[in-house]
A and B are shown apart, each in its own frame.
Chain A
Amino acid sequence: MSDKPLDPVAEEAIAWMVRLRSGMEDTRQQVQFRRWLEQAPANARAWEQLQRGLGRHYEVLRQAPGPLRETLLQPESSRRDMLRVLAGLGVCGAGLWFSARSDSGRVLLAELRTATGERRSLSLGDGSRLLLNAGSAADFEASSVRRLLRLYQGALVVQVAPDPTRPFIVRTAQGEVRALGTRFLVEQLADSTRVVVLEHAVRASVPGGVQRDVAQGQAALLYPQRIEPLPAGQAYRADWVEGRLSVLDESLDTVIDALRPYRPGFIRVSPQVRALRVQGVFPLDDSQRTLAALQDTLPIRVVSYGPWLTLIEARG
């Protein structure tokens, strides 16, 4: 596409940009350029379009550390590669995604899974009890030296059966939570993991070598490189166990994310209303009622197109 010439005015604008950027100072050239720009409105329009194409995104990139910019210099992939990556193969090793809906293959293959709107209570072979939130996926594996619960998606509360010889570990995309006889919540978020300790204590660790003990009533967020403590009083995060969504003060975006596992189809929240603040307690098992309640209390409009698409936008 880049070898094919565009319309003549666009080509002229580009030729000017190429000349002006060369780094050779030339005042006569500047004068000629001004003349070209003022010659015809079409010239000015083409120049503006070119400027837009070189706009604000580059400003952001200029501030970024060099190695992160180089992300742009990866080799292009073929269509075949693309389909392989999309199918979720070849990427399982990475384990680090920015998207909460993340890696497909593993989620589908996980042994412990809940469907949309389904919560499950299970007992694991070692006597521990597991509560899996809707839309979650996990695997459990016990050996003589440890018990490992891998959470791929969603949230869980686990009541760990004490066993001093085999530590109980919950692993997520960001890190691990290790316990010896305790009850706690682990939730896989888009780019972090939330840990809330309901009884006793756990030790959280991430690959960067950072560790942190989290005691009863405390909570933390795990990132690939660090662990951030959260304010106390997060126990309400586990209210889904009783089918309730408790919201103290959160953005609408976050509230809808908590509702997604309970509602089939796709919910899109328009950017203008994502940051609206929400307070309240909502029923998880009746997402229709929850959406109606949100619509009553916030300046939003909820439009459903059949069961698979719900749009939330600014009212009026």
Chain B
Amino acid sequence: MSASDSSKLGFFFSDHHRWLLQHVRRQLGNRADAEDTAAETFCQMLGARVDPDSIEQPRAYLSTIARRLIFDRHRRRRLEQAYLERLSLLPEALAPSPEDTHLLLEALHAVDRALAGLPLVVKKAFLMSQLDGLGYAEIGRRLDVCPRTVARYMTQALRQCYLSGVQP
């Protein structure tokens, strides 16, 4: 990035940072999280190499990114909480090491995001196929539906997986 580009971004941040912080804070009600989210929003902009001059409506643009980040943060927290609850019920010998925990949480978060919004039964069917390699007859038996319904569930889940497979 050239020096003038980075100073242009610096100006963009100083113009909109205060507004964005207030905007995010209204939704989050917590200063530390709001600061993180506001900074993360700018980081996403940096990562995408967006030219600030090309943005016609900065506030709408920033609040769209921020909304997505807030939602993501929320999903992640819920997931981590559920993870901890389940972990506490697990015998210590089975508990993953700290390094594995990190990888596992990343993977859980990515899959959780990819499958967001799907009905529970669809997620169940898909994970039985994807993780356990079960055929539709067996999945149908476990979920008490016919194999054709399982195929329909699979189509629904795979559509979302397809969209999450967009090259970064």
Interfacial residues, chain A to chain B (CB-CB below 8 A): 1-6, 10, 13-15, 17-18, 21-24, 46, 49-58, 60-62, 64-65, 67-77, 82-83, 85-88, 91, 94, 96-99, 101, 104-105, 107-108, 191, 208, 224-226, 265-266, 268, 303, 305-306, 308-309, 311
| B34-65 vs A, Cβ < 8 Å mask (1 yes, 0 no) | 01101110110010000000000000000000
- Chain B residues contacting A56 (CB-CB under 8 Å) are 107
Q: Are B164 and A53 in contact (CB under 8 A)?
A: yes
| C-alpha gap A55/B114 in the complex (Å) | 12
- Chain A residues contacting B105 (CB-CB under 8 Å) are 98
Most A C-beta atoms less than 10 A away, residue of B74, B78, B124, B159: B159
Interface of B, secondary structure class, is helix
Interface residues on B, range: 35 or more
A64-B107, A76-B117 are known contacts; what are 4 more A-B pairs with Cβ within 8 Å? A1-B160, A23-B137, A303-B6, A306-B14
Q: Are B130 and A86 in contact (CB under 8 A)?
A: no
Q: Are B30 and A309 in contact (CB under 8 A)?
A: no
- Chain B residues contacting A191 (CB-CB under 8 Å) are 98
The answer to whether A13 and B42 touch (CB under 8 A), given A68-B86, A87-B30, A224-B84, is no
Interface pairs (15), CB distance under 8 Å: A2-B122, A5-B159, A10-B159, A49-B165, A49-B166, A54-B165, A60-B106, A71-B79, A71-B112, A94-B84, A97-B80, A97-B81, A104-B33, A306-B13, A308-B13
| C-alpha gap A94/B123 in the complex (Å) | 26
Q: Is there a chain A Cβ closer than 8 Å to B146's Cβ?
A: no
| C-alpha gap A266/B137 in the complex (Å) | 52
Q: Are B108 and A101 in contact (CB under 8 A)?
A: no
Chain B min CB distance to A199 (Å): 30
Q: Is there a chain A Cβ closer than 8 Å to B167's Cβ?
A: yes
Interfacial residues, chain B to chain A (CB-CB below 8 A): 6, 9-10, 13-14, 17, 27-33, 35-36, 38-40, 42-43, 46, 70-71, 73-74, 77-84, 86-90, 92, 94-96, 98, 103-108, 110-112, 114-118, 120, 122-124, 127, 129-131, 134-138, 147, 151, 154-167
Look across to chain A and name the residue whose beta carbon is closest to the beta carbon of B92: A225
Most A C-beta atoms less than 10 A away, residue of B9, B36, B74: B74
Most B C-beta atoms less than 10 A away, residue of A3, A22, A83, A305: A305
Look across to chain A and name the residue whose beta carbon is closest to the beta carbon of B152: A18
Q: Are A308 and B35 in contact (CB under 8 A)?
A: yes
Neighbour of A225 across the interface among B36, B88, B156, B166, CB < 8 A: B88
Q: Are B92 and A86 in contact (CB under 8 A)?
A: no
| C-alpha gap A57/B112 in the complex (Å) | 10
Q: Are A18 and B163 in contact (CB under 8 A)?
A: no
- Chain B residues contacting A71 (CB-CB under 8 Å) are 79, 82-83, 86, 108, 112
Neighbour of A105 across the interface among B30, B107, B117, CB < 8 A: B30
Q: Are B158 and A68 in contact (CB under 8 A)?
A: no
- Chain B residues contacting A96 (CB-CB under 8 Å) are 81, 84
